[in-house]
Structures are given as structure tokens and as C-alpha cells.
Amino acid sequence: MTVVSAMKFNDKEGAIIADEQSSTQIRKYDIAEKIYSIEKDDRIVLFGGAGAADFLFNAKNDIDDLVGRRKFDSAKDIAGAISHVMAVLRKQHIDSYLRANYHVSLMDLQRGFKIDPDEGEVKLEKEYKQNVWNMLNLNKGLNEFVSGGFLILTAEQSGINIYVASSARDKVIPCARPYECIGSGSDMADAELSDFFDHLPREDRKSVDDTMGIAQLLHATERASKVNIGVGGTPYIVVIKDNNIITPSENNSRLANEMVKVWKKGCLAEDFVMSRLHSLIYANANYEQINKEMWDASKDPERMNMMLRGYKV
């Protein structure tokens, strides 16, 4: 349960933003860090996960191990390795479940026989195989656990690119659009970002103002948190600019999110929001000072105060 959104601003800049909420059957936690980074051979790879937190963390550790041991020719190859690791990990968990509960492996089911130490090849009857496959498909808990994905933003000398990796595929998928969203909140986030790009002239879609791009990603994340189950908390923002990673603090990220929210409601002027948002993200400005300036610049401080406190005004 999450939303991860990425946008390519131009050939040298982009950003990826995720919410921070994770949950179990009885608890929810606003402490999840869903975006990971790899810096290797003058290449940057940011990948934000959607799915079961423990499965994604397991995948992240395996990815770190693989990337540490291998040399890659491009950022796309690293993105491909991320997808491969996820697919392998999914098969391993399914195989472990089958061995523990049905005493057969995933390979046994696929090839139609198992190897018995005493009897050698033992054919699996068609009805038995079908029953096991059916039970596997009906296991909601297992399927949800292994159905994860990563949204990947890469940077190298050739430019910025976006990819999608899924545990259900061994091959990474490049994104043809200048943005992408994954997770349970992706429907709402995609609608907001699609609307933003729909209003841009064709010639402007390959050169989006970086601060405006971040504002739109924050808005998409906030809208998803408003209506989608399991999306919430302070947005986690990671920016690539000139082959460097910028990660604003939690307080700066929270204030940036609040500024965008009230700007969209007409309480702040766009020029003011873009200026202060840039300071919070790129200049590590003091959030307390920017917060004071925000209230001084508000067109309707009382309405803005009520809005940020959750009142329907």
C-alpha cells in the first residue's frame, strides 16, 4: 500500500517521491523509507518500492549485494539487475512455500515430475498438479507478499531515464512518458500528473521547471494520500540534479508539502511557493523561517490555518 511517483524534468534533472506509510493486518506505520539509492561508476540509480515492506527490503539487500559484486555497462543494466533480483526472490519464496506445504518444488510442478532419492523420477499426476496450482493461486497472503515492484529513476552521462521493475517479470520496462507512478495510490497520482502534462505545450514537456515538477509530484502524492488506502505520512523526496543526489530533511519535506497543498487551494501565490519550495529543497533553507514567511504571505491566514488542521473550509 503506497504511492511512488517519478518525473524526468530534463536530461540532467529528475525526482522521485514516495509516501512513508506501511501497514500490517492490525497496524499502520508512518516511518517507512521506500526510496533507495545506488551510486556506481558515475551513475545514479534511485528505486522506490511498492508492495510488502519486508519483501522489498529483502530485495534491496540482494540488489546491494549484486551491484557490489558486479560491473555494469549502463544504468539501464543496473535497473535490469533490480528487476531480475525481484523475479528470482519471488520464485524463491513460492518455492519455499511449496516445499514446506506440498513437498514439491516450483520446478517439479513446472516440469511435471519430482526426484525421489529412492524411486528416481516420480511423475506428478495432472489432477494433483492442478490442485496445487489452484491452492497457490488462492493463497492471498503469499501472492500479496511476493507481488512487489520498484519505480526506478536513473542518471548517467546519456541522461535521465525512468524504468519499472516488477517481481512478476524478469525484464525491466523503460517508461516512454516523462513520469510514472506505481502502488495502490498510482491511479490518483497518475491522474494528477497526466493533467499537468496535458496542459503543457508539446515543446515544454522535455524541459519542465524542476521546482514546478517537484510541486506537481508532491500534489500527486497528497491527492493519493487523501483517497487511497495505505498512503500517508510525510513525503520522502529524492532529487537528481547534475549527477548529484539531493534529499531534503523531513521537516523541509513536510513544509514543502503543506505549501503546495495550500497553494492549490488558492491561499498562496505561485511565485512565492516556487521560490520558497526551491529554497527548502535545493538550498536546505531553515524550515522555521520559511514557515514564518509562508504565514506572512498568505492571502487568507485563518482559512489556511483551518485547512492545514484538517477542517473542511
Composition of the chain by helix, strand, coil, percent to 5: 50, 20, 30
- Residue 281 cell numbers, joined: 529543497
Q: Which carries the bigger pLDDT value, residue 126 or residue 26?
A: 126
Over pLDDT 90: what percentage of the chain?
89
Task: Check residue 313 and give its pLDDT.
Answer: 85
Pairwise CA distance, residues 4 & 76, whole Å = 19
In this predicted model, what pLDDT tens digit does every residue of 200-245 receive, in sequence order? 999 999 999 999 999 999 999 999 999 898 899 999 999 999 999 9
The superfamily (CATH) of domain 1-247 is Aminohydrolase, N-terminal nucleophile (Ntn) domain (3.60.20.10)
Task: Check residue 264 and give its pLDDT.
Answer: 97
- Model confidence at 25, in pLDDT bands (50, 70, 90)? low
Give this prediction's pTM.
Answer: 0.94
In this predicted model, what pLDDT tens digit does every residue of 106-157 receive, in sequence order? 999 999 998 888 888 889 999 999 999 999 999 999 999 999 999 999 999 9
Q: How many CB atoms lie under 10 A from the CB of residue 153?
A: 29
Delimit the CATH 3.60.20.10 region(s) of the chain: 1-247
Pairwise CA distance, residues 150 & 111, whole Å = 30
- Residue 199 cell numbers, joined: 496542459
